[in-house]
């Protein structure tokens, strides 16, 4: 992870859980989609790449034990430090690339269920990294990648929307990379309706809750906030949050 991104997640760590605190319905919705697709059984080895603070692991945690904990992989020490103190969680500070290259020691030989939520856009080489990760799956291993499509419907300023789109892989490109890794892959698009107070949304943007926002200077971000306020005068904002769920399996 480059220095700018490392700084972004270090700054975000203390407020990351609060960012989603006002959206418990979204947390339940996302966790249900993840757990239903991964089909985890008790005692299977689960790994979460980009686990952060472990916010989206609640429905997977009951399948873990102290002997087979959820492996929480994240390059940010600050984010991992916010994980719950639970023996069923095993933090590993590493990038996806390091894990794919076998440079990281895991507590298991193979992984049965691998989840990657909103992290593939950080991969420096999507195809190569997914090949390496697929090699670490068990005979019945599954990998679920949750990612945003490049074209967002968020009430952001236009430059941020354009910059996000430029750096975000298309869901079909991710599925194609899984197939190159020797896996069968299917993609489904799901949508969650968001309703949020404009003032709260502006605070989230000001806090750079999305990594793309960390690429803007304070002056650029301030200008962007003014653009959002002008383009979206309603005190309540409503928009769809669309996710691609890409499931790969042997």
**Token pair for 148:** 């945003």
Mean pLDDT, the chain, rounded, equals 92
Partners of 236 in the beta sheet? 197
Which class does domain 3-152+167-195+240-249 fall in?
alpha beta
φ/ψ (deg, to 5) at 148: -85, 145
Dihedral of CA atoms 63, 29, 204, 61 in degrees, nearest 10, equals: -10
Q: What percentage of residues in the chain have a pLDDT greater than 90? A: 84
243 in Cβ contact with 199 (< 8 Å):
no
Domain-wise residue ranges, the chain = 3-152+167-195+240-249
What is the mean pLDDT of the segment spanning 179-184? 98
Residue carrying the six token digits 């993840």:
34
CA distances from 98 to 21, 93, 95, 177 (A): 31, 10, 5, 18
Q: Which of 175, 241, 245 is nearest to 210 (CA)?
A: 241
Number of residues assigned to the chain: 250
pLDDT given for residue 58 in this prediction: 87
Q: Which of 9, 123, 115, 24 is nearest to 70 (CA)?
A: 115
Question: In angstroms, rounded to a whole number, what is the distance separating the alpha carbons of residues 233 and 74?
Answer: 38
Q: What percentage of residues in the chain have a pLDDT greater than 70? A: 91
More confident residue, 16 or 69: 69
Does residue 211 carry a pLDDT above 60?
Answer: yes
Q: How confident is the model at residue 240 (pLDDT cuts 50, 70, 90)?
A: very high
């Amino acid at each position: 992870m480059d220095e700018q991104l490392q700084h972004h997640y270090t700054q975000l760590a203390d407020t990351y859980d609060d960012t989603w605190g006002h959206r418990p319905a979204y947390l339940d919705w996302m966790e249900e989609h993840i757990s239903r697709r991964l089909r985890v059984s008790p005692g299977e080895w689960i790994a979460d790449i980009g686990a952060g603070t472990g916010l989206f692991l609640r429905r997977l945690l009951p399948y873990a034990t102290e002997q087979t904990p959820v492996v929480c992989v994240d390059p940010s020490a600050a984010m991992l430090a916010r994980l719950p103190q639970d023996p069923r969680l095993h933090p590993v500070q590493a990038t996806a690339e390091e894990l794919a290259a076998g440079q990281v020691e895991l507590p298991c030989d193979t992984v049965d269920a691998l989840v990657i939520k909103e992290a593939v856009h950080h991969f420096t080489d999507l195809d190569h990294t997914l090949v390496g990760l697929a090699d670490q799956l068990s005979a019945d291993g599954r990998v679920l990648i949750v990612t945003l499509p490049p074209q967002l419907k968020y009430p952001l300023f236009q430059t941020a929307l354009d910059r996000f789109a430029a750096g975000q892989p298309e869901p079909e490109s991710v599925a194609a990379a899984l197939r190159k890794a020797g896996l069968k892959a299917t993609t489904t698009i799901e949508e969650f309706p968001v309703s949020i107070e404009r003032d709260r949304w502006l605070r989230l943007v000001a806090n750079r809750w999305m990594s793309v926002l960390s690429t803007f200077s304070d002056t650029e971000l301030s200008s962007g906030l003014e653009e959002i306020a002008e383009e979206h005068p309603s005190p309540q904002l409503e928009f769809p949050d669309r996710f691609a769920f890409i499931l790969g399996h042997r």
